[in-house]
Amino acid sequence: MSDRCVTASGKVAVVGSINADMRVGVERFPGPGETLAGGEATLTPGGKGANQALAAARCGAQVEMVGAVGNDPTAETALSLLSECVGLDGVVRRDILTGTAVVMVADSGENSIIVIAAANGSVDAASVHAQAERVGDADVVVCQGEIPRDGIAEAARCAERFVFNLAPVINVDPEVIRMADPLVVNEHEAALVAAALGSTTPRLEEDPDAALRELLDLGCRSVVITLGSAGCIIGGPEGFDSVPATKTVAVDTVGAGDAFVGALAAELARGRSLVEGCRFATAVATLTVTKSGAQASYPSIGEIENIRQGDQA
């Protein structure tokens, strides 16, 4: 086990995507029909599922990854950091390409991403059912929107506690969304999910507090809406709360949302409350934006210990 991972506490299964990310630096994002010269290009491990799995492991959970990669050379890149401290027995090899994301990172630190599913598209209900014992043994099961909807539904059915980061927002059975505890989305995704659940309230993306209440009224068990540099808001059976983020200078926001979800899952698996978990997850996500890369920016043992000491202060 790598010295960047901490002693495991609580079990997390992440059912989701595994990618090799092609990252390209740009001065700014191109407009329609425009060609820009790119800066340095690198191939790095990524995928929302893999990012969240590594973040959860770095934050102290015992993590199992359930997903798929290809038999191509980029699979080794995609799995390179996960192999430090994430169980990979639930990752199958397919005779297709490994999932890929093309990530443009502007000088401002903002990012724009195109995702090609490839092997991730094979993580369907049958694939997840084959890993039912591994998934069902976890304290917390995490999914995202980068695998087929029936694979997500099967993971939710197997889960003791289902954390659903519905990003990107795809067409999922509304009852699967309502099984999430919590549903984790940003303000734009919150409005889309509310509409998918039947909301007719306009302009929810401009009012995250209203979106939070709408999602709860539509039957969601608990909801976390992430607000980037403003932190997050939380709603559930215990009421409403908010967690501000510490102000910092963003170098690269790629993977920060996934760091939040992984850190939150780790905290929930060790018995922390949703609000406590969100405080910790916000601190972890804030730290990651001060560094370049997605998985490469996730915290070390010392950084995690500093965050925990800050929470206890």
Q: Which residues are annotated as a binding site for K(+)?
A: 252, 254, 288, 291, 293, 297
- Which helix (H) or strand (E) segment holds residue 129: the answer is helix 125-129
Tell me, what amino acid is at 154? E
- How far, CA to CA in Å, does 278 sit from each of 7, 109, 266? 21, 23, 11
Residues of each annotated binding site = 19-21, 47-51, 146, 186, 226-231, 252, 254, 257-258, 288, 291, 293, 297
- How far, CA to CA in Å, does 95 sit from each of 71, 118, 119, 245? 6, 10, 8, 43
Rg, the chain, Cα only: 18
Answer for the pair 87, 132: CB distance below 8 angstroms, yes or no.
Answer: no
Find the catalytic residue in 72, 139, 150, 258: 258
Q: 133, 157, 165, 193: which is closest to 52 by C-alpha?
A: 165
- Which helix (H) or strand (E) segment holds residue 154: the answer is helix 149-158
Other CB atoms within a 10 A radius of the CB of residue 305 amount to: 12
Q: Would residue 258 show up in a list of annotated catalytic residues for this protein?
A: yes
Which positions are catalytic?
A: 258
